[in-house]
Chain A
Amino acid sequence: EAGVTQFPSHSVIEKGQTVTLRCDPISGHDNLYWYRRVMGKEIKFLLHFVKESKQDESGMPNNRFLAERTGGTYSTLKVQPAELEDSGVYFCASSQSHQETQYFGPGTRLLVL
C-alpha cells in the first residue's frame, strides 16, 4: 500500500511568488494534517482536515496560507505571497481516525529567497 506522498520534494522561489504544495494521503484515510518545521525548530501543527472539512486550522500562521481538500482526497497548501520566514519543511500526515496513528509523508522543503 502506498504511503503518504508529497509534491514537490523541494521548491525554491523568490519572495512574493506563489507556491502550491500537494499531499496525497493513504487511501481511505479521512484525516489529513499539515505541519511545518522551520529552521531546526520543533515541528508545528498547521491544520487538520476531516474529509473535505477543516476540523482545526488554529496553527495556520496567517492569511497568506490557504489549504484545500476538495473531494476529501488530496490536499493542497498554497502560500501567496511567499515571505522569507515561510522557508522550512512542510509535512503532511494522514490517519484513519483522529485517535489513530498519523503516517507522515517525506515533506516538501521550501526555500524562499
Chain B
Amino acid sequence: AQSVTQLGSHVSVSEGALVLLRCNYSSSVPPYLFWYVQYPNQGLQLLLKYTSAATLVKGINGFEAEFKKSETSFHLTKPSAHMSDAAEYFCAVRSPYEDMRFGAGTRLTVKP
C-alpha cells in the first residue's frame, strides 16, 4: 500500500530564506509523486510532478523537488521565499492503477 508522510504541519521562514518542505513516501512499485499548493480560498494547484524521468524536478514559481529513492523522499525546496509563497502544500503519491494518496499538508508562513 502507498502512503505519504509530510514532516511538519507548520513551517515558518523569513522572506528571502530557503524553503524546505519534507515529504517521505511508501510505495511497493515505482510511484508518481506530486506537490500541490493551495492558496487561501482557492483550489489545489499542481506545483510539480515526478514520473520516473529526471530525479530533479522543476516546477512553477521557482520551486523544485528531488526524488531520492534510497531515502524514499521527495522534498520540496525554493532558494528564496517570497511573501506570496504563503500557502498550504500537499505532497501526494500515486502508483500505477491506484488512487492518489495525499499527505496531511504543511502550512507555510513567510515572515517579512
- Please report A residues at the B interface, Cβ cutoff 8 Å: 3-4, 6, 33, 35, 40-45, 48, 56, 58-59, 91, 93, 98-99, 101-107
A103 contacts B102, C-beta separation under 8 Å: no
Given A4-B43, A42-B105, are A104 and B36 also a contact pair (CB < 8 Å)? yes
With a CB–CB cut-off of 8 A, which chain A residues contact B71?
none
A107 with B103: CB separation less than 8 A: no
Taking a contact as CB atoms under 8 Å apart, the answer to whether A45 and B100 are in contact is yes
Given contacts A42-B105, A43-B90, contact A59 B46 (CB under 8 A): no
CA A34 – CA B105 in complex, angstroms? 18
In whole angstroms, what is the CA distance A45 to B43 when docked?
16
Within B7-60, the residues touching A (CB, 8 Å) are 34, 36, 41-46, 49
B104 within 8 A of A: yes
Complex CA gap A11/B13 in Å reads 34
Given A91-B44, A103-B46, CB of A98 within 8 Å of CB of B97: yes
By a CB distance below 8 angstroms, the chain A residues around B103 are 42
Check if A99 sits within 8 Å of B96, measured CB to CB: yes
With A99-B96, A101-B49 known to touch, is A42 a contact of B102 (CB < 8 Å)? Answer: yes
A-B contact pairs, 16 of them (CB 8 A): A35-B102, A40-B104, A41-B104, A42-B104, A42-B105, A43-B44, A43-B90, A43-B92, A45-B99, A45-B101, A48-B99, A91-B43, A101-B49, A104-B36, A106-B41, A106-B43
From known contacts A43-B90, A45-B99, infer whether A107 and B43 are also in contact, taking CB-CB under 8 Å: yes
Point out the residues of chain B lying under 8 angstroms from A43, CB to CB: 44, 90, 92, 102, 105
10 tightest A-B CB contacts, nearest first = A106-B43, A104-B44, A43-B102, A45-B99, A42-B104, A104-B43, A42-B102, A105-B43, A107-B43, A101-B46
Q: Considering the chains assembled together, what is the distance between the CA atoms of A93 and B42 in angstroms?
A: 14
Contacts of B105 in A (CB 8 A): 40, 42-43
Q: Which of chain A's residues have a CB closer than 8 A to the CB of B99?
A: 33, 45, 48, 56, 58-59
Shortest beta-carbon distance, A37 to chain B, in Å? 8
| New A-B contacts (10) at CB < 8 Å, excluding given A3-B43, A45-B100 | A42-B102, A42-B103, A43-B44, A45-B99, A58-B99, A91-B44, A93-B44, A104-B45, A105-B43, A106-B41
